[in-house]
Chains A and B, each alone.
Chain A
């Protein structure tokens, strides 16, 4: 009975899985086709004559290592920044009592709802004034703090019973120790999953880096990719698919390494 039920559930899940996977398969398979074949049979899954020409051409046209490094550096900087500020802020909200705490927290959270298009121009002007245009730092700087992280980390920290903090207080354990020895290890699963989310978002970011990065040597992968699908660069479809395939490698590796944390939540981190 329950097996039958499970089987029934599997059917829609399999269909959804296939739908989700199709674009990825499409991307990878086309990256191994010649330009001509991709025009003739763009939907075929297995290329007639698989070729790695697209990848070698890419390697000649752009500095792939540099691109991956730029993107990785920027995404790492943004992720570390967001995690660091988010954790510290959440800790302060959890551990300390101060005036207007709730109001301040509300203001933090409210920034989540401010659309990027509104802060885009002022941020650009600030970065320009700081002479940071065309630099990865310029891209990362306005993103080093993010209320989403504060909110998620505070919610997780609220699951740590107050008595734990009381106990540490009585034992006169300094804040630095509490933060690094107790809070961070407890929050490890959520730090990793939030971190992975930050990283992948930042890795894929396009609009903001386009505004800041003008010099091709400082381009990130999404910017370089744009060159292959825009009218000016001419649309070489298999080439764009090859670059896209390269682009997913790093997030995929990160996901594979940390998936057990990403799937886990604090509920199995040992509290309660």
Chain B
């Protein structure tokens, strides 16, 4: 607890609209100064969660605490929380400068202080030349920066961002991402950032909370979420190209895909013989060779080749129904080639076929 940031705590928060449960018993703790990303497909409840933290929606059940205090007390002061909206929500009748200044003026921040803050923000965001323009005279990227600046001007302890980059060009997005990142490094506010873009989430978050169906599926660092997802949903949601999922059976120390031996597995109490599992392997973890032997036992046929420059993505047909994608770097393949693949135990993620949970999710 200090002047720059605050903790956020959601305790068993449930939100119902009419009779539909959008958020179900959600627990979430955000540390002071943390950059947390709420990631999930549209309709997963991430925006609703953010709006509850902002005090724009009231939880049907449960508590939202800011610095251990009830949200209502904190949110109503107008200082603790700042929020940036997907459509920027700029005041169309005010210039850029007036947009940034408005809330400060209403809350009687002294004129000198206002000027000092805004000049530095306009400079940071490269908006000094545009300060007298109306929002309608700005490009999408500029509007987004104004929205960001308006949030910054408040010097709030908590900064909420609701898909702030989804309406701007892909080329500008990376730059804007860097801006947000450096803002956080500088100001150390507690940030909750909502997005459906996993790349954005991976790039920005100290931790990522992956949400689906109103439930947090996993909350961890980007690295852990990528390497060791708790369940199939998280595994599939994170990573492009998407993780390969194959139905396998375990017997005699091997995971079998149909008749093919695919992965050698060391003995473990968690995996049972003659049982079906789902095997998840990231495309970059599939090793491809034109020669068989030395672990390359499973044969496959190349059905598609896409050259992305720094790497090539190939689509491989393993059996009539099982198709996987692999990323290769130093191998030339053309459609119709016969190749052999190898999957290693350390890079395979094994999911229970019914619960779709990672059976080793507690493995480090």
Contacts and interface: CB of A to CB of B under 8 A. Distances in A.
A269 B135 CA distance: 11
A270 B85 contact: no
Given A167-B83, A170-B83, A270 B93 contact: yes
Interface string A257-272: 0000000000001110
A262 to B, nearest CB: 19
Contacts of A181: 102
A225 to B, nearest CB: 41
Interface residues of A, number: 20
Contacts of A169: 55-56
Given A163-B86, A170-B78, 4 more contacts: A166-B56, A167-B83, A173-B103, A269-B92
A185 B90 CA distance: 13
Interface string B53-69: 01110000000000000
A186 B78 contact: no
Interface of A: 161, 163-164, 166-167, 169-174, 177, 181-182, 185-186, 188, 269-271
Interface of B: 51, 54-56, 75-78, 81-83, 85-93, 102-103, 106-107, 134-136, 154
Contacts of B154: 171
B134 A270 contact: yes
A36 to B, nearest CB: 58
Interface of A is mostly: helix
Contact of B78 (A172, A182, A185, A269): A172
B157 to A, nearest CB: 13
Interface of B is mostly: loop
A170 B134 contact: no
7 contacts: A163-B86, A169-B56, A170-B82, A173-B103, A182-B93, A269-B93, A270-B92
Contacts of B106: 171, 173-174, 177
B89 A166 contact: yes
Given A170-B56, A186-B92, A163 B85 contact: yes
Contacts of A164: 89-91
Contacts of B75: 170
A271 to B, nearest CB: 5
Given A171-B78, A173-B103, A185 B83 contact: no
Nearest to B147: A167
Contacts of A166: 51, 54, 56, 83, 85, 89
